[in-house]
Chain A
Amino acid sequence: MLNSQDRFSVLFTAVRTVTFALSMVSSSFAQETAQIDFVSIGRGAPLLVDANQAQLTGSTMRTMAGFGPGSPREFTGGAPAGETPPGIEPLPVDIFTSKDFYQDRELWSDPRYFRCNSPAALEDLWGANRSSLIGDNPPVTAAWGLCDRDYPRAAIVSPYQFKTAQEHYKALLEETTSRGGPTKHTYETVPGEWTGRYMHPGRTPGNWYWYRMRHNQMPTILSLLTPEYQTRMVQEAYHHANTNAAQWPSSYCWPEGFMRRWHEAAVWDHYIMVTPKAVQILAGVVRNFITTVHIGREFNLEGRIPRLGADVPRWYGETIGFWDEDALITWTSNIQGWKNHAAPEFSNAMQTVEIYSPNYDENGQFKGLNHEAIFYDPESLVEPVRIVRNYLKLSDFDEGEPYTFVECVQSIFPQEGRATSMSPGQVIEYEIPDMYGRPWAHLWEEYFEKEMEVPVEEDIFSFE
Chain B
Amino acid sequence: MNSSSSRLISAGSVIINSLMATAVLLITIPTSQAHHSFAMYNMGKITTFTGVVTRVDPNPNHLQVFFAPMNEDRKNVERDEDGDPVLWAVEMGGSAMMAREGISVNSFPRGTVFSISMHPLRNGENAGAMEGGLFQCPEKTPPAPGMHCDSVEGSKQFFGKPLEAEK
Could you tell me if A311 and B106 are in contact, using CB atoms closer than 8 angstroms? yes
- In chain B between 25 and 44, which residues have their CB closer than 8 angstroms to a CB of chain A? none
Cα of A463 to Cα of B68 in the assembled complex, Å:
13
List the one stretch of A132-140, A203-211, A406-414, A434-442 in contact with chain B.
A434-442
Whether, in the assembled complex, A464 has its beta carbon less than 8 Å from a beta carbon of chain B, the answer is yes
Contact of A463 among B75, B85, B107, B110 (CB under 8 A): B75
* Cα distance, A311 to B63, chains bound together (Å): 12
Set A311, A436, A460: member contacting B57, Cβ < 8 A: A436
B95 CB to nearest chain A CB (Å): 5
| Option from A305, A312, A458 in Cβ contact (under 8 Å) with B95 | A312
Asked if B7 lies at the interface with its beta carbon under 8 angstroms from chain A, I say: no
Interface string of A303-317 (1 = CB under 8 A from B): 111000111110000
Q: With an 8 A cutoff between CB atoms, is A380 at the interface?
A: no
A434–B64 alpha-carbon span in the complex (Å):
12
Instruction: Decide if B111 touches A462 in the complex (CB within 8 Å).
Output: no
Which residues of B are found within 8 Å of A305, using beta-carbon distances? 106
Contact B140 A310 (CB under 8 A): no
Name B76's contact: one of A303, A309, A463 (CB within 8 Å).
A463
Contact A310 B55 (CB under 8 A): no
CA distance A304 to B105 in the complex (A): 11
Complex interface residues of chain B between 47 and 86 (CB less than 8 A to chain A): 52, 54-59, 66, 68, 74-77, 85
- B111 in contact with A312 (CB, 8 Å): no
Given A304-B106, A463-B142, A312-B75 contact (CB < 8 Å): no
Among B16-24, B96-104, B116-124, B150-158, which stretch is in contact with chain A? B96-104
Chain B residues with CB under 8 Å of A38's CB are: none
Given contacts A460-B110, A461-B76, A462-B75, contact A312 B57 (CB under 8 A): no
State how many angstroms separate the Cβ of B157 from the closest Cβ of chain A.
18
Number of A-B contacts (CB under 8 A): 53
Task: Give the CA-CA distance A16 to B47 in the complex, in Å.
Answer: 66
Q: A419-464: which have CB < 8 Å to B?
A: 434-437, 458, 460-464
Does A310 contact B76, Cβ atoms closer than 8 Å? no
Complex CA–CA separation, A461 to B55 (angstroms): 13
In-complex Cβ contact of B55 among A309, A437, A464 (8 A): A437
Set B58, B85, B110, B140: member contacting A312, Cβ < 8 A: B58
Least CB distance, A295 to chain B, in whole angstroms: 23
**Cα–Cα distance between A18 and B13 once the two chains are bound (Å):** 65
Q: Are A461 and B77 in contact (CB under 8 A)?
A: yes
Most B C-beta atoms less than 10 A away, residue of A311, A313, A436, A464: A311
A294-335 residues with Cβ-Cβ distance < 8 A to B are: 303-305, 309-313
Q: Please determine whether B106 and A435 come into contact, CB atoms closer than 8 angstroms.
A: no
How many residues in A have their beta carbons less than 8 Å from beta carbons of B? Answer: 19
- List, in ascending order, chain B residues with CB within 8 A of A304's CB: 106
Interchain CB contact (< 8 A) of A311 among B52, B55, B77, B104: B104
- In the complex where A312-B104, A463-B76 touch, is A436 in contact with B55 (Cβ < 8 A)? yes
A313 touches B58 (CB 8 A): yes
Instruction: Tell me, yes or no, whether A348 is within 8 Å of chain B by CB.
Output: yes
B24 CB to nearest chain A CB (Å)? 19
CB <8 Å contact, A310 and B75:
no
- Residues of chain B lying within 8 A (CB to CB) of residue A460: 52, 54, 110-111
> Which residues 349-363 of A sit at the B interface, judged by CB distance below 8 A?
none
A463 to B140, Cβ gap below 8 A?
yes
User: Which chain B residue has the least Cβ–Cβ distance from A313?
Assistant: B105
Q: In the complex the two chains form, is A310's CB within 8 Å of B99's CB? A: yes
Is B76 touching A462 in the complex (CB atoms < 8 A)? yes
Let me know if B76 and A464 touch, CB within 8 A. Answer: yes
Known contacts A309-B96, A460-B111; is A303 also within 8 Å of B85 by CB? no
A437, B113: Cα distance in complex, Å:
19
Residue pair B52, A310 in contact (C-beta under 8 Å): no
* Cα A458 to Cα B76 with chains together (Å): 14
- Distance in Å from the Cβ of A14 to the closest Cβ of chain B? 36
> Within the complex, which residue of B75, B96, B111 is in contact with A464, where a contact is CB–CB below 8 Å?
B75
Give bound CA distance, A120 to B65, whole Å.
36
Scoring B66, B68, B105 by chain A CB atoms within 10 A of each residue's CB, the highest score goes to B105
Q: How far is the CB of A443 from chain B (nearest CB, A)?
A: 17
Considering the chains assembled together, what is the distance between the CA atoms of A311 and B104 in angstroms? 6
Contact of B100 among A310, A434, A437 (CB under 8 A): A310
List A contacts of B76 (CB < 8 A).
461-464
* A435 / chain B contacts, CB cutoff of 8 Å: 57, 59
Distance (whole angstroms) from the CB of A434 to the closest CB of chain B = 6
Cα-based distance from A245 to B110 in the complex (angstroms):
28
Residues of B within 8 A of A (CB): 52, 54-59, 66, 68, 74-77, 85, 95-97, 99-100, 104-107, 110-111, 113, 140, 142
The 8 closest A-B pairs by CB, nearest first: A310-B96, A460-B111, A310-B99, A311-B99, A311-B104, A461-B77, A312-B95, A304-B106
Q: Show 18 A/B contacts (Cβ-Cβ < 8 Å), sorted by A.
A: A310-B95, A310-B97, A310-B99, A311-B99, A311-B107, A313-B105, A434-B55, A435-B57, A435-B59, A436-B56, A436-B105, A460-B54, A460-B110, A461-B76, A462-B76, A463-B76, A463-B142, A464-B76
